[in-house]
């Protein structure tokens, strides 16, 4: 059975339909003081999948704790978390004494609750595998880069893929290889959440259709800075393709104001820019894990 919250219903139905799984919604009530009251089905099968994409993650992590512990009491023996977007993965090292390494803390927290985790393009930088960050028996990483590459190929004959920073290199290389696209990666120096300096790669962009591709768009300032430089260098067009459409605050407007045309994303996070679905690939993976 696939359990989900109401706001994840559409993605849950796509995944469950492709995997042939029954679904059930988790009822949620919020008390005046902010506490949550959740209700699951009264009995559960031995294998349960919980879908929860972890944008705006803080309250959702509490929900996962409450749901996972209760699911065990109701009969679940094997719990799989499907978190298309997995939060707190970027903080993988302490840069200052006393700084919390959130990846390690959240990873172990989830590993204590679940037998398996499926996610898409987690923001792993200095950690090579998801299992290092989250020591569960089964940790599966899927990628939206190939599907986004297919979409880009359908819209542009000879695009140039550009990663907005060095951390995007893994996704850029994967997407470019699928259709033999030319590609390059910008260099970035971050001065804060919304202030970055960017240098373009040594590529001739004049007259080219350029697509900025990354795993996540949050504030939009890195993508906007790269787009402005590409436009100034003569790019015929600049589009954006991302796996995770966080787009906090006015991020989408910031990107568009910098000269970006079309913005594409996967459905890992529900957004108006969703253009490709990860549901079939997630469903296929679930069937492999639960066979």
Contact predicate 176/148, CB 8 Å: no
Report d(CA 183, CA 271) in Å as an integer. 27
Buried b (16+ CB within 10 A) or exposed e, 102-141: ebbebbeebbebbbbbbbbbbbbeebeebbebbebeebbb
Catalytic residue of the set 52, 188, 244, 271:
188
Q: Is residue 188 annotated as a catalytic residue, yes or no?
A: yes
Half-sphere exposure of 50 (CA within 13 A, CB side): 31
Report d(CA 63, CA 102) in Å as an integer. 18
Candidates 103, 79, 111, 56; CA nearest to 244 is 56
Candidates 81, 164, 94; CA nearest to 130 is 81
- Tokens standing for 199? 């240098």
Residues with catalytic function: 188
């Amino acid at each position: 059975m696939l359990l989900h919250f109401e706001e994840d219903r559409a993605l849950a139905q796509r995944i469950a339909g492709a995997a042939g799984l029954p679904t059930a919604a988790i009822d949620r009530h919020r008390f005046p003081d902010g506490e949550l009251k959740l209700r699951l089905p009264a009995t559960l099968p031995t294998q349960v999948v919980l879908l929860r994409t972890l944008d705006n993650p803080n309250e959702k992590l509490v929900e996962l704790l409450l749901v996972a512990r209760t699911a065990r009491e109701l009969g679940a023996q094997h719990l799989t978390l499907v978190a298309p977007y997995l939060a707190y993965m970027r903080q993988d090292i302490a840069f200052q004494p006393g700084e919390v390494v959130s990846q390690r803390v959240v990873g172990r927290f989830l590993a204590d609750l679940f037998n398996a985790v499926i996610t898409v393009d987690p923001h792993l930088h200095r950690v090579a595998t998801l299992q290092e960050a989250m020591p569960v028996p089964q940790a599966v990483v899927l990628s939206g880069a190939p599907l986004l590459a297919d979409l880009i190929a359908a819209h542009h004959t000879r695009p140039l893929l550009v990663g907005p920073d060095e951390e995007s290199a893994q996704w850029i290389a994967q997407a470019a290889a699928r259709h033999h696209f030319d590609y390059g990666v910008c260099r970035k120096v971050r001065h804060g959440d919304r202030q970055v300096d960017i240098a373009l790669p040594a590529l001739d962009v004049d007259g080219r259709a350029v697509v900025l591709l990354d795993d996540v768009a949050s504030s939009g300032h890195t993508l906007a800075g790269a787009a402005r430089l590409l436009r100034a260098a003569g790019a015929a067009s600049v589009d954006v393709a991302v796996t995770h459409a966080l787009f906090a605050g006015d991020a989408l407007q910031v990107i568009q104001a910098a000269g970006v045309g079309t913005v594409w994303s996967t459905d890992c996070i529900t957004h108006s820019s969703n253009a490709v679905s990860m549901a079939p690939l997630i469903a296929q993976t679930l069937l492999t894990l639960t066979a």
